[in-house]
Amino acid sequence: MGALGLPEDSFDAVLSGVPRDFLKLAHYPGNTDGAPERQGVGPHKDSDILTLLWQDETGGLQVFLEGKGWIDAVPLKNSFIVNVGETLELATDGYLTADIHQVVMDARHTKSRYSIPYFIGPNLDLKEIPILSLPKELKDQARGPATDPMNPLIRNPGINTMKGRLRSHLGTTERFYPGHYKIIKEKGIIASSAY
Ligand SMILES: O=C(O)CCC(=O)C(=O)O
Ligand SMILES: [Fe+2]
């Protein structure tokens, strides 16, 4: 919050409440037969506040840059990737934007990829994510949250988190939330994701 020119406690309401952070251990099998693509993670934004992501030296993670397309997030030893999540995009009214990323195990990646994302999530009991009162010079640069009809950013953190979970685990969604599954399949409004 200090980096945004705000008091350190400005985001306490979003960070408080029952713990809802989680850590995932991911394994993507290597692409050993030269197929154009093997199992990865489809393009998505993380729905949380921030993600701290450790990846091994295999590579496979890509970030979408406007005007440039997909670029490799080349592994840097002893470093973490920090993804801005949808919650921060909503809270800063689009001053910070959640990055669109994917994992593509193309023919370059013959070895298994291991990654450990740590998702820092919002208080699920809040009714809505508040908009932070950014200093004028930052506020002037805020473009408003993205309005992609394929991935609506929902201000209620419980519903937005649920959106992320449903699209991540389509098999479970089909079995226990058949109505939601139908919407995802028919309208495609929730892109594929691991989160
Ligand atoms: O495994 C990775 O490197 C990224 C996974 C990811 O983007 C996610 O789980 O949200
Ligand atoms: Fe992600």
Q: How confident is the model at residue 152 (pLDDT cuts 50, 70, 90)?
A: confident
pLDDT at 195 over 50: no
Query: Which protein residue has the closest C-alpha to ligand 1 atom 2?
Result: 115
pLDDT at 46 over 80: yes
Domain coordinates of the chain in residue numbers? 10-146
Gap between the Cα atoms of 156 and 176, Å rounded:
22
Query: What interhelical angle do 157-168 and 178-187 show, nearest 10?
Result: 80
Q: Are 23 and 116 in contact (CB under 8 A)?
A: yes
Residue 4 CA to ligand 2 centre (angstroms): 23
Given 113, 143, 155, 175, which residue is catalytic?
Answer: 113
Which atom from ligand 1 is nearest to the alpha carbon of 102?
A: 7
Is 20 tagged catalytic?
A: no
Ligand 1: does its nearest atom lie under 6 Å from the Cβ of 31?
Answer: no
Structure tokens at 187: 């309208």
ipTM over 0.90: yes
Residue 193: the pLDDT is 42
Mean confidence (pLDDT) of the chain: 90
Residues 6+ apart with CB under 8 A from 152: 163, 189
Q: In percent, how much of the chain has pLDDT > 70?
A: 96
Q: Among 2-6, 21-25, 168-172, whose mean pLDDT is lowest?
A: 168-172
Ligand 1: does its nearest atom lie under 6 Å from the Cβ of 99?
Answer: no
Fold of the domain spanning 10-146: Jelly Rolls (2.60.120)
Residue 41: the pLDDT is 86
Structure tokens at 153: 């950013």
Residue 189: the pLDDT is 61
